[in-house]
Amino acid sequence: MSTRRIALTVNGTRHEAEAPVRQHLGDFLRGTLGLTGTHLGCEHGVCGACTVLLDGRAIRACLVLAVQAEDRAVTTVEGLAPSPEALHPLQAAFCANHGLQCGFCTPGMLTTLEEFLRDCPDPTEEEVRVAISGNLCRCTGYDSIVAATMEAARAMREAAA
Amino acid sequence: MKAAPFAYHDPRSVEEALHLLATLENARLLAGGQSLMPMLNMRVAFPDHLIDLNRVEGLAGVTAEGGALRIGAMTRQRDIEESPLVRAHLPLMSEALTHVGHRQTRNRGTIGGSLCNLDPSAELVAVATALDAVLEVQGPSGARDLSIHELPLGFMTPSLAPEEMLTAIRIPLPPAGHGAAFEEFARRHGDYAITSAAAVLVLEGGRIARASLTLGGVGAGPLRLRSAEAALAGQAPSEALLREAAAACGSIDAMSDPQAPAWYRRRLAATLARRALTAAASRATTPARQGGLA
């Protein structure tokens, strides 16, 4: 099978590894780099669970080939927290607001919302709902995710002030 | 849900991409990958060669050129959505883009990919049709311009030769002060529209100087409603006139599929067309935006 050696930065760390050219980024992150925080649900771009940041933008890791991430910077859910001791404000707010139950959609929700709050630090609830429209959650009914996001946005605005 | 094996090529120039396309058997071009990658993962598509355009120089960007906006085929939908040039001169496209998939797919998806995939419900296909876009196509025998109206040959079938590729889209600018609106109905935000309507109205002296009305999702390709446009031209944009023009959409030849029967699409078309025309008319009567292109 055709493979290619690629170098990329994941969560600030430089990695070099062999990737089959047909392998999508999600499988590469999980299988080759062992970063299993990125979840794979549908693998055809519908569920949003595999969302990661590619050069700061939220993308579906199942719809990008690993070889396309050559020389690019990827951030996964493992890279969101500022330190091993502290949670990202979104993670803390999800925890406090029951923003997750089974947790399968959570990595995709968090990475999607991290980009969204950078662009839109003071969103309305409606804007949050549109922002997560590409992420399926079968547990929460979304209300607690929206509440958590509003709280995280407040906390991040206060921290920046 | 894993792609079947293929050989991967990532050319750096249009020439290199065209050479690969002309010489490789069963090759597919990969643009943003938001339709082709799912097809590969589901093994609906089996190319032997994938030619990735993401590292080709000079295929992305929005520029103003002599009364038109030129959008590179590999320009991401998100970059078009946020382009100040597009917002100022082609508000129809900015508005429609908010309905295209989701933030994560617009961060990757490209305008060239959307147009060549030619899904009948795709918002960008309807918008390009409403705005009379001209496609810049390159192939082994050189470059040619292709009107968007000549692109669809049938369901999801663009009139490009196998060794040709779309490199840019030129959209003639409607005059400053025109009104435009995009309306669609989909089961969920970001889904492909069951039916959509794109309207552009240019007013002069209180009358409609030019009208453009396009429906998406009703048939194998986008549908420009020339007779309704002709009925609007020269008239004052009264509520009754717009309602009557939109009502003509109720007798179009619409398709049935598992999502919706034809009669439902016809009713949606008439309603969405009326909303789009009404919004376009109200926006056209607001003071003209200052200035044209520098």
Min Cα separation A150/chain B (Å): 18
Among chain A residues, CA nearest to B102: A134
What local confidence, expressed as pLDDT, does residue B190 receive? 81
Question: Which of A45, A116, A131 is facing B38, going by the closest CB pair?
Answer: A45
A1 neighbourhood in chain B, CB within 8 Å: 5
What local confidence, expressed as pLDDT, does residue B160 receive? 97
Phi, psi of A13 (to 5 degrees): -110, 135
Which fold does the domain B179-284 belong to in CATH? Enolase-like; domain 1 (3.30.390)
Q: Do A3-76 and A89-160 show the same overall fold?
A: no
| Per-residue confidence band for B255, with pLDDT thresholds at 50, 70 and 90 | very high
Contact B189 A59 (CB under 8 A): no
What are the domain boundaries of chain A? 3-76, 89-160
Upper half-sphere CA count for residue A87 (Cβ side, 13 Å): 11
CB atoms within 10 A of CB B6: 20
Contact A22 B52 (CB under 8 A): no
Residue by residue, what is the 3-state secondary structure of chain B? CCCCCCEEECCCCHHHHHHHHHHCCCEEEECCCCCHHHHHHCCCCCCCEEEECCCCCCCCCEEEECCEEEEECCCEHHHHHCCHHHHHHCHHHHHHHCCCCCHHHHCCCEHHHHHHHCCCCCHHHHHHHHCCCEEEEEECCEEEEEEHHHCEEECCEECCCCCCEEEEEEEECCCCCCEEEEEEECCCCCCCCCEEEEEEEEEECCEEEEEEEEEECCCCCCEECHHHHHHHCCCCCCHHHHHHHHHHHHHCCCCCECCECHHHHHHHHHHHHHHHHHHHHHHHCCCCCCCCCC
Q: Is the pLDDT of residue B99 over 70?
A: yes
Min Cα separation A126/chain B (Å): 12
What local confidence, expressed as pLDDT, does residue B121 receive? 94
Question: Which of B10, B37, B103 is facing A58, going by the closest CB pair?
Answer: B103
Q: What is the pLDDT of residues B28-72, one digit of tens each?
A: 999 999 999 999 999 999 999 999 999 999 999 999 999 999 999
Contacts of A118 (CB under 8 A, 6+ apart): A56
| Per-residue confidence band for B287, with pLDDT thresholds at 50, 70 and 90 | very low
Task: Pick the more confident residue, B290 or A81.
Answer: A81
Architecture of domain A3-76: Roll (3.10)
Domain B62-172 class, CATH top level = alpha beta
Residues in B whose CB is inside 8 Å of some CB of A read: 1-8, 10, 33-34, 37-38, 40-42, 50, 52, 54, 78, 101-105, 107-108, 188-190
Q: Is the pLDDT of residue B96 over 70?
A: yes
Contact A4 B52 (CB under 8 A): no
Question: Which of B1, B52, B103 is facing A131, going by the closest CB pair?
Answer: B103
Min Cα separation B214/chain A (Å): 26
Q: What is the pLDDT of residues B115-138, one digit of tens each?
A: 999 999 999 999 999 999 999 999
Q: Is the pLDDT of residue B292 over 50?
A: no
| Per-residue confidence band for B202, with pLDDT thresholds at 50, 70 and 90 | very high
Which residues of chain A fall below pLDDT 70? 1
Average pLDDT over residues B190-210: 94
What local confidence, expressed as pLDDT, does residue B286 receive? 47
Contact A115 B3 (CB under 8 A): no
Quote the tokens at residue B202. Answer: 């240019």
| Per-residue confidence band for B290, with pLDDT thresholds at 50, 70 and 90 | very low
Is the domain covering A89-160 a CATH 2.20.25.570 domain?
no
Q: Are strands B157-158 and B7-9 parallel, antiparallel or unpaired?
A: unpaired
Among chain A residues, CA nearest to B5: A22
